[in-house]
Amino acid sequence: MILRPSMKQEKIGVLLVNLGTPDAPTTVAVKRYLAEFLKDKRVVDSECTIWKLILYFIILPLRCPRAAKRYKSIWTKDGSPLMFYSYRQHALLKERLPNITIELGMRYGQPALKHAINKLSYAGVDRMILLPLYPQYSCSTNASVFDSVARHFANMRRIPSLTFIRDYAEHPAYIDALSATIRSSFVQYGKPDMLIFSFHGIPQSYADQGDDYPERCNATVQAVVDQLGLHPKHYMMTYQSRFGHKQWLAPFTDKTISQLPGKGVKHLQVICPGFSVDCLETLEEIKFLNKQLFIKAGGKSFRYIPALNDNTLHIDLLYQLLVEQIRYLD
């Protein structure tokens, strides 16, 4: 028997994934969202039964009312900034790739990841490109997305070929986009005494056990500072948003920022390269709370450099990431 190649053109689909957000800045909505988030063993690696008791009877009752107020402080007429910009990215990519089926799913909350996968399955895709919108790989983010997709496919009779974009920490288009937004901030507000690259933290134990997230963050920073020609004394890399009592990656963003004025740093700018869109951790934690820490400690000028969001260069990057995979599949 002579085997002949199939003439059927494979249908390619894309699954964009971001973290997610509560549906509303209310205690009930935040509790629903945080319960799903904090039950993920990739996020909190604790013994299941004991952790659930702590979560439902201590953490959620105490944390959710405060968290709802924090979310309310960043909420807009268009809703959650994370959701608004994620939908914008989705829409702009669909314009750039009109012949490719692209769906958006959130790892926690809505639109649920499983519904996005089902839409791609109903569309009959033969190959699925999975793009988590986390530039630097971590077991707590990118791997969690992979786990969730794999669990969903475990219940399906027909599954497509899967291409997983692990991360894009050093992709030239990503470095170009970050460098351009930093240059723009320098032009608009002047070159600061110090530029901080603040990344979301993870427990130190995750890195000790093999998560290469710190190395991926450092790779991004080194590529950007090389392109910008920054002197080592004018930039730092820190970690924010720690949770619980475990040892987390250091140095901590908030502690670093509160100490800088005493070391002569009066003009500070902060960028958060690990966030593909602005959200609670950038707008409330960095732009508001950490600015207060800096000014209270004697700083004079604090500027938060926005996430790439729906910036044209960001959409160019996401487009390039997908086209590179599509060409490879062809």
Question: What's the token pair of residue 175?
Answer: 């470095």
Residue 3's pLDDT is 35
pLDDT, tens only, 14-43:
999 999 999 999 999 999 999 999 999 999
Residue 6's pLDDT is 43
Q: Is the peptide bond before 81 cis (omega within 30 degrees of 0)?
A: no
Higher per-residue confidence, 7 vs 259: 259
Question: Could you tell me if 103 and 122 are in contact, meaning their C-beta atoms sit under 8 angstroms apart?
Answer: no
Residue 317's pLDDT is 98
Q: Please tell me what DSSP assigns to residue 232.
A: G
User: 4-27 burial string, b = 16+ CB within 10 Å, else e?
Assistant: eeeeeeebbbbbbbbbbbbbbbeb
pLDDT, tens only, 81-130:
999 999 999 999 999 999 999 999 999 999 999 999 999 999 999 999 99
Check whether 242 has a pLDDT greater than 60. yes
Every domain of the chain and the residues it spans: 172-305
pLDDT, tens only, 189-228:
999 999 999 999 999 999 999 999 999 999 999 999 999 9
Residue 190's pLDDT is 97
Identify residue 275 by its one-letter amino acid code: F
Residue 7's pLDDT is 45
Check whether 1 has a pLDDT greater than 50. no
pLDDT, tens only, 118-166:
999 999 999 999 999 999 999 999 999 999 999 999 988 999 999 999 9
Residue (of 283, 291, 274) closest to 198 by Cα position: 274
pLDDT, tens only, 45-79:
887 788 889 999 999 999 999 999 999 999 999 99
Residue-averaged pLDDT of the chain: 95
Domain 172-305 has CATH 3.40.50.1400: yes
Residue 12's pLDDT is 95
Is 281 labelled a binding residue?
yes
Percent of the chain exceeding pLDDT 90 equals: 92
Percent of the chain exceeding pLDDT 70 equals: 96
